[in-house]
Each structure stands twice: as C-alpha cells, then as structure tokens.
Amino acid sequence: MGKGIVKREKGKGWIQGGGLISFLLVFQFSLLTFPFASEARAQEDVVQLLVRQRSEVRAAELLRQMGGRVAARPPADLAPASIYLLWHDRVLARRQAVADSLAEAARRAREDSLAHLPPTLPEIRWSKVEPDEQGPFIGEYGEVFWVAAPRLAALDTVATPRLRALLNGAFGAPTRNAAAAEQEGYAGSEFVQFEYWLVVNDTIPLLVLDRDGPFGRGVIVAGSEAHRRYLPLLTADLARRLGDARPTAYVDYYHAYDRRQWFQTGFDGAAYYTHETRTPRWASARRRNERWRIFR
C-alpha cells in the first residue's frame, strides 16, 4: 500500500518534472525562434498583400471586360479602395455616356423636325407673267422640272369656275388659255382651260392650272423641283390671297377631249355658266408654235 503511494508520488513528480522540462524546452525554443517572429509576421503581411493584389487584378479584369482600361502600374501601389473607385467612376462614366447619347439623339431629332418644317419668307411678293412675257419666262425656266404642290382643302373644295374668277380678280387675265393659243401663237396643254404663270419674290416660278376645265374643283399648283420646300407655304399664301380677292368677269374656251366637245365657260359678274359651242375657227386651224410648250 505504501509502495503504491510512493509510486503515485513518483509518478506525480515525474509528470511535474516532465511538464517543467516541456515548458523549459518550449521557452528555450521560443527564445531561439524569437528573432524569426517578425519574419513570420512579414510573411503573413505578404500573404495578405498577395490576396489584395489578386482582388485588384480581378477588379481590373472586370474593368477591361466592361471596356475600361487601368493604367499599367504595380497593383501594390494602389490603395485598397482605388480599384473600386475606378470601377465606380467607370459605371458613372457609362451612365453619363448613355445620357449624353440620348441627349444628342434628342437634339438631332429636334433639328431634323425643324429641318422638315416649311421655311418661312420675310415677305411673299407675287407677279404674273403676261402673255407677251412668256418668251423670257421660258428662257429662264424652260429646263425646270415641275412638281405638284401639296393639295389644300381651302382650294380643293371650291369649284374651278369660281377659282378662275378669283384668280382673275387677284392677278388679271391668265398668262395662257385656249384663246391666247390662237392670239399669241403659244401652245399649251391640250387639256388645260387656263394657265397662270407666276413668279414669287422674283426667283420662284409657280404654275396654277385647272384640273378638269369648268367641271372640276380646285386647281393644280406646281413649282420647280428646286423650290419644293416652299410649295406648302406658297400654296397656303395663294389660298389666303384668293380668299381675300373679289371674283371678276371672264370668258374661256375649253375642249373636253373625252366628250369630243368644245365649251364656252365664264362668269358674267352675276352668275357662272358653261355651255356647248362649235369648234372655234382658230382652233381648227391649229396654228401653234410648239416651241413654247412648257410642261415636262
């Protein structure tokens, strides 16, 4: 029994002695390794640096995928938040670029819409070409390609005989009609009752013709292809002038080829009339100078 106690005590002392020895060994080892502690911490800092650099490199790769570029410099030289700031700035830059693009598109759309608006003129002066002035007119505008102006309800809803009377009141007798073809020797369209040749502001030629003699409504307004943009404006101004004009008396002849019949039509100051008539002698002679034909 006593031996057991002694053994336990011996064992205890051995354990205690062994613990002390272990402590001494660890302490001695720590003393031996103490000079390398700062190196271990430095190694840990290097690992963290590599992790941070990898994060920065990945962020730079993301920037490149988004179309951005990062200056070529060591990632270690960048502050931890610098890549994020670059990414953040790049996102803001892309949003601003989109906003600028939309603003530019809107500006161009406004410019395009304004470009398609009819141009304005400071004033509109009309002059009619007299029958004996057809030569100079054709000499200046003989090579013009004529285009029809947009139709306007203010003109299209009015019977042609009344428009002819209003044109007569606003501009006088037409430049050319069936009678003028005989009197002046000028050949016009065979299907036209009257032709008003007009010049706006001394530079813009305009033609006003009937559609179907005294049987139609409205008139045909045509201008030069080069002045196409002005035609809506000029047609509207013409309608306004005719609206302010007073109808005056006139007499015209019209040959309806589909009816094979000549008509005399006009306005006597009180009423409009259209009735059949024999073929005029001057029409049967067909003495016309074809070089005066203007329509193309």
Residue 250: strand pairing partners: 267
Q: Which whole number is the average pLDDT over 15-22?
A: 49
Tokens standing for 202? 């001394």
pLDDT at position 101 is 78
CA distances (Å), origin 76, targets 47, 53, 56, 160, 216:
12, 6, 9, 89, 89
Percentage of the chain modeled with pLDDT above 70: 57
CA-only gyration radius of the chain, Å: 50
pLDDT for 92-113, tens place per residue? 777 777 777 777 777 776 665 5
154 vs 181: which has the higher pLDDT: 154
One-letter amino acid at 237 equals: D
pLDDT of residue 116: 52
- Average pLDDT, stretch 141-156? 89
- Stretch 183-193: mean pLDDT, rounded? 65
DSSP secondary structure letters along 48-102: HHHHHHHHHHHHHHHHHHTT----SS-GGGS-TTHHHHHHHHHHHHHHHHHHHHH
**pLDDT score for 132:** 84
Structure tokens at 226: 């080069």
Token pair belonging to 291: 């070089």
Q: Is the pLDDT of residue 224 over 60?
A: yes
| Predicted pLDDT of residue 102 | 79
230-270 confidence digits (pLDDT tens): 999 999 999 999 999 999 999 999 988 888 899 999 999 99
Per-residue confidence band for 185, with pLDDT thresholds at 50, 70 and 90: low
252 residue type, one letter = D
| Residue 187 token pair | 């050949």
pLDDT digits (tens, 9 = 90+) for 37-61: 454 454 445 556 666 666 766 676 6
Q: Is the pLDDT reported for residue 31 higher than 50?
A: no
